[in-house]
């Protein structure tokens, strides 16, 4: 069991402080870094150049899939497998198909959104190296933590530490990966 270095974390006190720090980390050429905050911070996605989240597409995919599934199911059951004439109406038509298919589109979209969110975030995971850090628990309270990953090409335990301190980060600590 070797204890590898996961990264360096620094603590900030306000959303603006971590946003400015994040800009400087980006400008310094770091690529593998992340900001941990108690709530989403406006502008952070732009600073990190995250672009548009793919969750919307996963939800759309789920919705369209369910819509077609149910429309197909209705065609199969009521028009193909066991056709019964009810009130002289056509075996398969848009008005009767649309409502259940549309309802299941909503279901598919919602399930897709949740699964997409969890999948893209690589959740659920029961452990994360940061969760071992005592001060990391403050992230869900009122602190803002910036982490530069050890896998970054520019990462250097001493230089990155001074860099984070120069940005105004306090409690700059090494995060170890115990797995």
Q: Shortest gap between Cβ of 113 and other proteins (angstroms)? A: 4
Q: Shortest gap between Cβ of 128 and other proteins (angstroms)? A: 6
Output 56 or 178, the one with its CB closest to other proteins: 56
Angle (nearest 5°) at CA 81 between 79 and 85 = 45
Output 1 or 50, the one with its CB closest to other proteins: 50
- The residues near 27 (Cβ < 8 Å, ≥ 6 apart) are none
Cα–Cα dist 156/27, whole Å: 17
Q: Shortest gap between Cβ of 82 and other proteins (angstroms)? A: 6
Q: Shortest gap between Cβ of 8 and other proteins (angstroms)? A: 15
Cα–Cα dist 15/153, whole Å: 27
Q: Shortest gap between Cβ of 72 and other proteins (angstroms)? A: 11
What is the secondary structure of 126-171 as a DSSP string?
S--GGGG-GGGGGGGTT-EEEEEETTSTT--HHHHHHHHHHTT-EE
Cβ atoms of 28 and 20 within 8 Å: the answer is no
Output 64 or 111, the one with its CB closest to other proteins: 111
> Maximum distance among all alpha carbons in the chain?
81
Output 127 or 153, the one with its CB closest to other proteins: 127
Cα–Cα dist 46/60, whole Å: 24
Output 44 or 172, the one with its CB closest to other proteins: 44
């Amino acid at each position: 069991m070797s204890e590898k270095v996961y990264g360096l974390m620094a603590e900030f006190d306000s959303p603006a402080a971590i946003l400015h720090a994040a800009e400087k980390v980006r400008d310094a050429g770091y690529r593998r870094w992340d900001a941990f905050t108690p709530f989403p911070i406006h502008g952070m996605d732009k600073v990190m150049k995250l672009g548009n989240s793919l969750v919307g597409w996963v939800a759309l995919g789920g919705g369209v899939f369910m819509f077609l599934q149910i429309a197909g199911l209705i065609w199969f059951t009521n028009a193909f497998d066991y056709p019964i004439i009810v009130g002289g109406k056509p075996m398969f038509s848009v008005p009767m198909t649309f409502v259940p298919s549309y309802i299941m589109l909503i279901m598919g979209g919602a399930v897709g959104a949740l699964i997409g969110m969890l999948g893209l975030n690589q959740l659920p995971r029961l452990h994360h190296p940061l969760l071992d850090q005592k001060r990391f628990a403050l992230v869900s309270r009122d602190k803002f933590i910036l982490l530069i990953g050890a896998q970054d090409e520019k990462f250097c335990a001493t230089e990155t530490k001074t860099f984070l301190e120069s940005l105004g980060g306090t409690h700059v600590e090494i995060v170890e990966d115990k797995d």
